[in-house]
Amino acid sequence: MDRLDDIQLFLRVLDQGSISAAARSLDLSVAVASQRLKRLEQNLQVRLLHRTTRHLHPTPEGMELAEQGRILVEDLDALTARLRQGASAVSGTLRVTMSSSFGSQYVSPLVPAFLATYPDVKLSVSLSDELLDLVGSGYDLGIRVGVLRDPGLVSRRLTRNRRVVCASPDYLRRHGAPRTPADLAKHECLLLAGGSGRQNIWHFTDKKGNAIAQRVKGRFESTQGGPLRDAAVAGLGVSLHSLWHVHEQVCSGALKILLADYPVPMTYIHAVMPQRRLVPPRVRAFVDFLTEHLGDPPPWERGVPGA
């Protein structure tokens, strides 16, 4: 940028007719302006100005630099103006990644309203249950459900993520309802088997705040929550879910929440970003929009008994 600044000074000298006038217009001392012009000539290894007592005249090389350099400076000024305008306006392409189930159920329905509110934003959403590298994959934002595992990311809490143990009325008629976490050892449990392994230890808290870890077992497991939810509705066993994932089934009575006196430890849903500084307005706008529509109490807790 120093060289471009020096070219800009050279152009100002030609426009003003003297080094002193150019220096005044740029709030520089004449000595500093002269040094910078000398530096520019040394860097280019050509003489740019013929200096006389009364006048300055560009050399042929100076004339060529003035012609091409003015285009460079004007293009840079235009680019800078566009970037500054973009930095203050909610515009541009916003790339977001989030889990398939949560994105489909709760974010997708909000997209039309967000795009209508911000007509200059282009939204690109990736639905994936993999925890993608935001920086390496070029994402502006990620929506993460549960415990955050990357301390290098900047996070903002969107809302709480209550988790519940549930089963169908049919299963409960045939096998009875567990009254304590220890009772789960005698039940058929539906297990999530994700990237962190088989989740066959479920965690609870008693009335005194003590942590309880209960090992469970069952004949059916899945890498995604959807099949486990469907299996629970079909009466195949007891399952552990985020409430947002089984909200409709609980409200309709297809699933019953169990062990209300032993809540599962609370987790949260976060928006995560690669950095805190210079966050684009389109990212802030989307996070604010999600917070407004998903914030406490989240929509999946409304109408749910005991929520």
Kindly report the CATH number assigned to the domain that includes residue 242: 3.40.190.290
For the segment 196-248, what is each residue's pLDDT rounded down to a tens digit? 667 899 999 998 889 999 999 999 999 889 999 999 999 999 999 999 999 99
Are 271 and 157 within one domain? yes
pTM exceeds cut of 0.75: no
- Examine the domain organization and report whether 147 and 134 are in the same domain: yes
Residues 236 and 171 sit within 8 Å (Cβ to Cβ): yes
Say yes or no: 272 and 134 in one domain: yes
CB distance 258 to 178 below 8 Å: yes
Residue 157 covered by a domain:
yes
Q: How far is CA 284 from CA 61, 91, 140, 142, 267, in A?
A: 49, 11, 10, 12, 23
Residue 281 lies in a domain: yes
Q: Give residue 20's pLDDT band: very low, low, confident or very high (50, 70, 90).
A: confident
- Which residue has better confidence, 115 or 77? 115
The CATH number of whichever domain residue 140 belongs to comes to 3.40.190.10
| Token pair of 245 as six digits | 């994932």
| Enclosing domain of residue 212 | 163-258
Together in a domain, 154 and 109:
yes
Q: Is residue 173 part of a domain?
A: yes
- Cβ-based neighbours of 167, under 8 Å, separated by 6 or more: 177, 232, 235, 237, 238, 239, 255, 256, 258
* C-beta of residue 98 within 8 angstroms of C-beta of residue 143: yes
Examine the domain organization and report whether 69 and 139 are in the same domain: no
The per-residue pLDDT for range 150-187, each reduced to its tens digit, is 767 788 999 999 999 999 999 999 999 999 999 999 99
pLDDT at 14 over 90: no
Whether residues 69 and 116 share a domain: the answer is no
In a domain, 286, yes or no: yes
Pick from 70, 88, 106: which residue ends a domain? 88
The answer as to whether 170 is a domain residue is yes
